[in-house]
Chains A and B, each alone.
Chain A
Amino acid sequence: MENLAFGLTYSVAGGLAAVGVGLVGAAAVSAVGRNPDALGTIRTMMILAMSFVDALGIIGLVVALIIKFMK
């Protein structure tokens, strides 16, 4: 049961964070396609937005690790 909780916590959080990062990346790529001059600004903003998204995924990972290792 604990292993199931670990796997589900990690995989749901990670999967949804992956969707979010994919959306951010797709938006950044299409923005660069429209306006290639703004590459530097868009890259910075993309990394910023991505780290906001993956913070949630990583918090999911931490919660999963707490389930697994703190008893």
Chain B
Amino acid sequence: MMLLATAVLNVSVGAEHVLNLGPIQINNSQMLGLVGWALTFWLLVRTVRRVRTKRYDRLTTAVLWAYEYLLDTTTEVLGSRERAQKLAPIAISMFFFIIVNNWLEVLPILGPVTWHGTQLFRGLSADMNFTFALAVITFATAHIWAIRDRGFIGNMKRYVHNPLKDPVHAFEGFLEIVAEISRFLALSLRLFGNIFGGEVLLLVISFITVYASVLALPPFLLFEIFIGLIQAYIFFMLTIVFVSLGTVSDTAPASPETESLELEAAT
């Protein structure tokens, strides 16, 4: 108990500023983010090269399997293979980027490596700026697709109606705007909260089981790896669901029942 009383649990909610590169401030989440970016780039380029020269190994096969599975999911949601192949590049590369960064977060270099008192590395998804930027990209994609399908006026018609002519639809459109904002916030907060919560969980576990943390941590690390996979998949899934909500499917028109179900799942 004395040990616990003396040590101070220090959690910072935002990313901390570590160093300056000229006029650019570098935060500790960006340090690990660069590593994650390089790893993702390496992983995807390596897979492409290996597939072109037909030298398959386990990692290549795993990435290919994940790609095929995600492409099938996209096809299922969007309704046709062509549209899926158009959306796949952004959605699936987002998935790989998020999953690599989520898995980097469990590395033991995160806490102990410090630079002038602040920790040098921090999980990229545990920084609100990153998840917010991803949500902005998702919603920009969704609206670009919606505008491409319905036209600019058609996209506005989802939200704005003349309240004098059609008060019920005007109110529905207002609710749709609120739903859009809440979806946007929930999308960014979900990823941030899960990864940041996981980091705090690991910190608290190692804090309360002081010397036994070697035994206590591995199950939680496994759990965090699982959560990282699930959250990346959820983000990918929500991206394509949001895009498909705004578009008009050309093969099978969605029945109102499934659409409301998707809406419920999304919010």
Binding site for B on A (CB under 8 A): 47-49, 51-52, 54-55, 58-59, 61-62, 65-66, 68-70
Contacts and interface: CB of A to CB of B under 8 A. Distances in A.
Contact of A47 (B11, B186, B196, B230): B230
B237 A48 contact: yes
Interface in B24-42: none
Contacts of B234: 48, 51-52
Interface string B1-18: 000000000111100000
B194 A58 contact: yes
Contacts of A61: 193, 197, 200
B186 A69 contact: no
A59 B191 CA distance: 10
12 contacts: A47-B230, A48-B234, A51-B190, A51-B234, A55-B193, A58-B193, A58-B197, A59-B190, A59-B193, A65-B196, A69-B13, A70-B13
A62 B196 contact: yes
A59 B13 contact: no
A51 B230 CA distance: 8
Contact of B231 (A49, A51, A59, A65): A51
Contacts, number: 45
Contacts of B96: none
The DSSP consensus for interface residues of chain A is: helix
Interface residues of B, number: 18
Contacts of A65: 11, 13, 196, 200
Given A62-B13, A65-B13, A65-B200, A55 B190 contact: yes
Interface in B182-204: 186, 189-190, 192-194, 196-197, 200
Interface in B243-267: 265
Given A55-B193, A62-B197, A70-B13, 9 more contacts: A48-B237, A55-B189, A55-B190, A55-B194, A62-B192, A62-B193, A65-B200, A68-B11, A69-B12
A52 B13 CA distance: 22
Contact of A59 (B189, B200, B230, B237): B189
Nearest to A47: B230
Nearest to A52: B265
Contacts of A58: 190, 193-194, 197
A51 B233 CA distance: 11
